[in-house]
């Protein structure tokens, strides 16, 4: 007989595999929530000290990620440019790409999450050094701003979320 039991099973499995391949792009876009509600802001910036041999200021940058969606999210990389009083202090990257997904920072549903990143800022920008010295090596009276992008992931999909924040 032409349609034996084995052939029917083979045709059925082939149809499931082909259907999955065709529907996979649709499945991937369904798993990512509306990221326009997700916000990334500066929680705080702390001055840790000056490293004399490299002539750099050590700053601890804390970013607050607010996830108002009903789905847990994560990130693999955050790129940002840090500004102090309108002057760029450089580009920085906080990468989790080499960490398995279950070890990356989790942005739980309807919660805030804090990401900390210690950076070394070269003290070549004279205005920043003057601002540090005028504020007794504290960060008071300095207007901070970050502009950047984060790769936000959920399930099988990921997208880039651009952000700008000041403190």
pLDDT at 74: 92
Where do the structural domains in the chain lie, given as residue ranges?
1-30, 39-166
In angstroms, rounded to a whole number, what is the distance separating the alpha carbons of residues 86 and 143?
8
The whole-angstrom separation of Cα 146 and Cα 79 is: 10
**142-162 tens-digit pLDDT:** 889 999 999 998 877 788 999
pLDDT digits (tens, 9 = 90+) for 133-143: 676 666 767 88
Alpha carbons 26 and 58: distance in angstroms, whole number: 45
Radius of gyration, alpha carbons of the chain: 23
CA distances from 6 to 18, 23, 49 (A): 18, 26, 72
Question: Across the chain, what does the average pLDDT equal?
Answer: 86
Which pLDDT does position 64 carry in this prediction? 96
144: β partners: 84
Question: Which CATH number among 2.60.40.10, 2.40.10.480, 1.10.357.10, 2.60.120.10 corresponds to the domain 39-166?
Answer: 2.60.40.10
Question: Mean pLDDT lowest for which of 17-26, 96-105, 136-145, 155-164?
Answer: 136-145
């Amino acid at each position: 007989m032409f349609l034996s039991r084995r052939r029917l099973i083979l045709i059925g499995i082939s149809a499931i595999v082909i259907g999955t391949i065709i529907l996979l792009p649709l499945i991937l876009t369904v798993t990512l929530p509306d990221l326009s509600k997700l916000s990334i802001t500066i929680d705080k910036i702390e001055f840790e000290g000056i490293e004399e041999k490299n002539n750099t200021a050590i700053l601890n940058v804390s970013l607050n990620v607010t996830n108002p969606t009903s789905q847990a999210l994560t990130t693999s990389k955050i790129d940002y440019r840090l500004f102090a009083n309108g002057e760029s202090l450089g580009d920085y990257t906080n990468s989790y790409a080499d960490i398995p997904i279950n070890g990356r920072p989790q942005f739980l549903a309807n919660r805030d999450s804090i990401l900390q990143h210690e950076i070394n800022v070269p003290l070549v920008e004279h205005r920043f050094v003057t601002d540090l010295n005028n504020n007794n090596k504290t960060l008071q009276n300095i207007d901070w701003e970050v502009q950047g992008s984060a790769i936000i992931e959920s399930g099988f999909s990921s997208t880039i979320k651009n952000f700008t924040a000041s403190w």
